[in-house]
A and B are shown apart, each in its own frame.
Chain A
Amino acid sequence: MSNLSLVITAIAGLSAAIAGCALPAKTRVHAAVAFTWGACIAALVGSLTVLHTGHAMVLNSSRILPLTGVTMVLDPLGAVFVVVTAVVAIASTLYWLGYASHGLSTRTASAALPIFVTSMLLVPAAGSVATFLWLWELMALSSLLLVLVDQRRREETRSAAQWYAVMTHVGASAILFALVMLSAHAGNQTFAAIRIHAVHLPAAVRNTAFLLALVGFGSKAGAVPLHVWLPKAHPEAPSPASALMSGAMVNLGIYGIVLVGDRLLGGGPAWWWLTVTAVGVVSALFGALHAATSTDLKRLLAYSTADNMGLVLIGVGASGLFATTGHPAIAAIAMVSALLLTVNHAAFKGSLFLSAGSVQVATGSRDLDGMGGLLRRMPITGAVFLVGGLAIAALPPLNGFVGEWLLFQSLLHGLPTSSTAVAIAVPVGVAALALTGGLTAAAFVKAIGVGFLGRPRSEGAATAHEVPRTMQLGAALLAGACVVLGVVPMIVLPALERATAAAVPGAPAHSLRSSVELRLAGLQGVLAPALLAAGLALAFIAVIAIRRLAQRRSHLRLALRRAEPWGCGRELQTARMQYTATSFAEPLQQVFDDVLRPDRDLNVSHLAESRYYTEKIAYRTSIGDVVEHNVYRPMIGAVNAWGQWARGLQNGSVHRYLAYGLVVLVVILAVIV
C-alpha cells in the first residue's frame, strides 16, 4: 500500500507517453495531459503522506532493470521536491492544453513532455545509484527533445540544444563518477549503504566525490560558471517546457547537492560549504546583473533563475557551515530558508515563464523593446506577470520576501557564533543578497513596466489579444500560489522542517515556531506575514477612503479626466520616445561596465559635402556572456583546432594506414615485452 503511489506515478506517466505517441492529433494532447495529471496526483498523494508521517516510502524490485534492479526510497527531503515538481507540472500541462496549437502537439513533444514530468517526479525518490542515474538521464534526454521542438524553424534552437546537451552530459558524467566512486567504496550501490560507509572513507575520496557532485549538480542548477546553457535553452524551449525546466528541473540540482553533501557524506569540512556559498554569491550576482540588463523577456527570466539558485546555494552553504561549526539549530534555519526559496522560486518562475509564453504567443516576439501596454490588452496575463514579478523582487506580502527574510535571519544569527572564515563569508553573503535584491527589483520593474505598461512599441504589441483560458488559468494557478505562500507560509513550513531534519544531521525537530507569526525557536526573530499583509490591505483601503472623502468635500466634484500626457510640454509624443528595456538598463550597464563588457558599435556617416554634417548615426549594443566568451569559446576553439590537426592523420592513403597498423603493433609488442 505504502509504495503504491510510486507505481501508479510510473504507470500513469508511461501511459501518458504512449498516448501522446500513439493517439491521433486531435485527442493526443488531452489524453497525455490527463495521464500526466494522474501521475502528478499519485506522486502528490504519496509525497504528502511521507511528509505527514515522516516515514520514508520504499519500493524494491529486482525485475525491472537488469543487473541492478530498482530501489526507490522517498524520504521527506525528496518528497518536498516531488510536491514542487507535481504542482508546477499540473499548472504547466494545463497551460499546454491551450498552447498545443503553437507547435507543441507533435508526437515527439506529446511523448517527451510526460516522460520529462514523470522522470522529474521519480528522481527524488531514487534510492540507489543506478536508479538515480537512469532517471536522471531520462530527464536530461526528454528535456533535450523538448528544447529541440522548434528546431526546423529556428537556427538558434539547434545551437541552444547543442549547448544544453553538452553541458547536461558533462554534468551527468561528473555525477556518475562521484556516485560510482562512493558506491565502489561502499561495496553496495544503495544510498543507505553508501551513507553508512561514507564516514570511514578517506578524506581524498570524500573531497573528490563532493567536488564532482558540486560540478555535476551545479551545472543542472545553473550555477555560474556552469550556467551557459540556461540563457540559451530556457528561451528556446516552448514555454510550458521552460516553466518545467526552470520551476522544477533546476531544483533537482539543489536536491543533488544536498543529497550528496548532507545525506550521503553527512556533511564535511568548512571549505566545502564556503565553496558552495561562494558559488552561490557569484551566481546570484551574475544572474541578477544579466537579468537587469537583458532585453529578451525569456532570457531575462533564465538569468534570474541562475540568480535565485545562487541564493538557494547561499542558504545550503550557510547551513553546511553552521552545521560544521556546531550550531545545528541555525543550520536548520538556513536549510529551511534554502528549501523555502526553492519552493517560492518554482511558484513565481513557473507563473512568469508561462505568462511570458502567453506574451510570445500574443505578440509573436520575446523582445521587450517592442512591447508595451500589454496590461490593457491582456489583463489576466498582465496581472499574473505583475504578481510573479513583484514576488520575485521579494516584496511583501508575496512569497519571495519570506524566504529572503529567513535567509537573512539565519545569516545574522549564525554570524556571532562562528569562526573567522564564516565571519568574512557572512557579511559578503548579506551584501550579495542585498545587491541581488536591488538588481532583481530593477530587472522586474523593467520587465513589467516596459512590457506591460506604457504604450505599445510595435504592431504586434498593439494588436495583441488575450490567450485561451487554459493558458491564463495555468499561469494564474502558480501566481495564486505566490500569494498564498506569501501570506501564510506556515502551511509549508512543517513539511520543510521535516525535510530539513532528514538533511541536516542533529537538526532540532522544530527550528521555527509558527502560528500566525513565524518565530525562530530560541532566537529573537519574528515575522508575521499575514499581519503585514492585513496591515497593508487596511492601509490601502484607508488611503483610498480618505482620498474619496477629500474629493467629496471638494466643491468642484469633478469626474476623472483623461488627457494627453504633459511630458514637459512636448508637442509631439510618440511611442518610440518612451524608454525601452535597453535604455532602462543603461545606467546599470554603465555602472557595471567592467563586469558586463558590453559590445558597442557606433557608426557615424557624414554628408559628402562636408564632414561637419552627419548624415546618419548607427548605434548597436549587445551584452554577451563574459563567461561564455572568455572560458567556453577558447575551450571550444582549442578542441576544434585539435580536431583539425587530427584530421591530418587521415588522408585516404592506404600506405599510410598500413604504416599506422605497423606502428601500433610494434608499440603494443614493446609494451607487452
Chain B
Amino acid sequence: MNGIGGVIAAVLVAGAQIAAVAVGGPLLVGVMRKVRCHIEGRVGPPIHQPLRDLRKLFSKQCMRPDQASWVFGVGPVVLVATAVLIAAISPLATTHPPLGQTADFFAIVFVLLLGSVALALAALDTGTPFGGMGSSRAMTIGALAEPALLVAILAMSIPAHTSNLPALVRIGLAHPQLIASPERFLALGSFLVVILAESGRLPVDNPSTHLELTMIHEAMVLEYAGPDLGLVILGESMRLALLLGLLVNLLAPWGIADRAGAAALVIGLGALVGKVVVAGIVIATFEVFTAKLRLFRLPELLAGAFVLAVVGAFTALVVR
C-alpha cells in the first residue's frame, strides 16, 4: 500500500465514505421521519424526500440578508467541509481510513466544533434577534456538552492507551471484552446524550419545530435560503450520520473492513448502513415518547452525562 496505487486506494476509500455519509445522512433523516410518522399513525413523506428537498434548494436563487458580511456565506461551507473531512478520515467503513493515524478523537471533536462555531457566527451575522438567540443557546449547550464528551473520550482511551479513533475501533474488534466493559458502556451512554445535544434532537431541541421562542438550531438558520440552506441541511444531516456512525462502530465494530480490498469495503459500507439505520430507528422511536426539555433543565441532563463519563473514567482506572 504505497506509491501511486496506495494514493488511489486511499482516495477511493475516502470518496466511498464521503459519498456514503453525504447521501446516507439525508436518507437517515428520511428514515427517522418515516419511523416517527409510522408510530404516530401517519403515512409520512417518502424516505428520499430530504434528497429531493436538497435538489430543489440547490437549484434556487441565492439570497442573503443585506447587512450580512462574507461570514454568512462561508459558515455553511465550513459546516459541510468539516463534515466531509471527518467522513474521509474516520473509521466508518474500514478501520484503515486514509490519514487514519491523525484521526484522533480529540481532533475530530474540535473539527466538529469548528463547524458549530462557523454556523453560530453566521447566525449572529444576520443582525436579527432570532440569529442571536439560536447562536447563544447553541453555544451554551455546546459549552456544557464539552466536558461530558472529552471525559467520555478519556474513559474509552484509558484501556486502549490511545485516543486514535481507528485504533479504538480495532481494539474493540480484537478484544470484544473491552466493549462489554462497564467503562465503555458508561462512556458511550454519555456520548449518546452528547450526540443528541449536538445534533439538536429531542429532548434537547425539537428538529421539526418552528415555534419561535423555543427553537435553537432552527433559529440559527432562519435567514438561510436556497443553496445556502441546502448546505446547512446537508451539513447537519451529515454530522448526525457521522456521530451515529462513530457511536455504532465503537459499540459494535463487527462488519467493518479490517483489511484492504474492495469486497471488504463493500461489506463494511453495508454493515455501517445497517447499524446506523438501527441506531436511527431506536432514536426516532425514543423521540416519539419524549418531550423537549426546558432550556434551563438541559444543564441537568448534560451534567448527568458528565457524571456517567467521570464514573466511566474511574472505572477504567480501577478495572485495569
Query: Contact between A587 and B140 (Cβ–Cβ < 8 Å)?
Result: yes
Contact A587 to B69, CB < 8 A, known contacts A550-B227, A561-B61, A566-B223:
no
Report the stretch among B174-182, B275-283, B312-320 that lies at the interface.
Answer: B312-320
Residue on B nearest A587 in the bound complex, by CB: B140
Closest B residue to A455 by CB, please name it. B127
Binds A, one of B36-44, B117-125, B263-271: B117-125
Does A356 count as interface, using CB distance less than 8 angstroms? no
Establish whether residues A547 and B126, one from each chain, have CB atoms under 8 Å apart when the complex forms.
no
Is B163 touching A525 in the complex (CB atoms < 8 A)?
yes
8 Å CB interface, B161-209 against A: 161-164, 167
Specify which of B67, B139, B146 is in contact with A445 (CB 8 Å cutoff). Answer: B139
**Residue A393, interface by CB 8 Å:** yes
What is the CB-to-nearest-CB distance from B140 to chain A, in angstroms, rounded to a whole number?
4
Is A375 an interface residue when CB atoms closer than 8 A count as contact? yes
- The answer, yes or no, to whether A1 is at the interface (CB within 8 Å) is no
Q: How many A-B residue pairs have CB under 8 A?
A: 281
Within 8 A of A (CB), among B33-92: 58-71, 77-78, 80-82, 84-85, 88-89
- In the complex, the answer to whether B147 meets A438 with C-beta atoms within 8 Å is yes
> Given A427-B313, A579-B129, are A554 and B107 neighbors across the interface (CB < 8 Å)?
no
B114 lies within 8 A of A535 (CB): no
- B113 at the A/B interface (Cβ < 8 Å)? yes
| B111 lies within 8 A of chain A by Cβ | yes
Contact of B127 among A544, A563, A565 (CB under 8 A): A565
Chain A contacts with B in 130-178, Cβ cutoff 8 A: none
Judging by beta carbons under 8 Å apart, are A413 and B310 in contact?
Answer: no
In the complex, the answer to whether B143 meets A543 with C-beta atoms within 8 Å is no
A431 pairs with B65, CB closer than 8 A: no
Looking at B114, B131, B296, the one whose CB has the most chain A CB atoms below 10 A away is B114
The segment from B1-9, B98-106, B241-249, B254-262 found at the interface with A is B98-106
Is A599 part of the binding interface, using a Cβ–Cβ cutoff of 8 Å?
no
User: Is A437 engaged at the interface, CB distance under 8 Å to the other chain?
Assistant: yes
The answer, yes or no, to whether A623 is at the interface (CB within 8 Å) is no
In angstroms, how far is the closest chain B Cβ from the Cβ of A440? 9
Q: Are A434 and B147 in contact (CB under 8 A)?
A: yes
B274 in the interface (beta carbon within 8 A): no
Q: Is the CB of B69 within 8 A of A376?
A: yes
Residues of A within 8 A of B306 (CB): 431
Q: Mark A573-593, 1 if CB is under 8 A from B, else 0.
A: 101011100011111101100
Q: Is the CB of A431 within 8 A of B151?
A: yes
Shortest distance between the CB of A233 and any CB in chain B (Å): 28
Contact A560 B62 (CB under 8 A): yes
Inter-chain contacts of B164 with A (CB < 8 A): 524-526
Chain A residues packing against B (C-beta within 8 Å): 292, 372-373, 375-376, 386, 390, 393-396, 401, 404-405, 408-409, 411-413, 415-416, 423, 427, 430-431, 433-435, 437-439, 441-442, 445-446, 448-450, 453-455, 517, 523-528, 531-532, 535-536, 539-540, 542-544, 547, 550-551, 553-556, 558-568, 570, 573, 575, 577-579, 583-588, 590-591
Taking Cβ atoms with an 8 Å cutoff, the residues of B that contact A are 58-71, 77-78, 80-82, 84-85, 88-89, 99, 101-102, 104, 106-107, 110-111, 113-114, 117, 120-121, 123-133, 135-137, 139-140, 142-147, 149-151, 154, 157-158, 161-164, 167, 212, 222-223, 227, 230-231, 295-296, 299, 306, 310, 313-314, 317, 320
Q: A536-B85, A560-B62 are in contact. List 4 more A-B contacts (CB 8 A).
A: A437-B113, A532-B102, A565-B65, A573-B127
**15 chain-A/chain-B pairs, Cβ below 8 angstroms:** A435-B146, A453-B127, A523-B161, A524-B161, A527-B102, A532-B102, A535-B89, A536-B85, A536-B111, A543-B77, A544-B77, A551-B59, A561-B62, A565-B67, A579-B133
Q: Which 5 A-B pairs have the closest CB atoms?
A: A579-B132, A449-B124, A438-B143, A438-B146, A524-B162
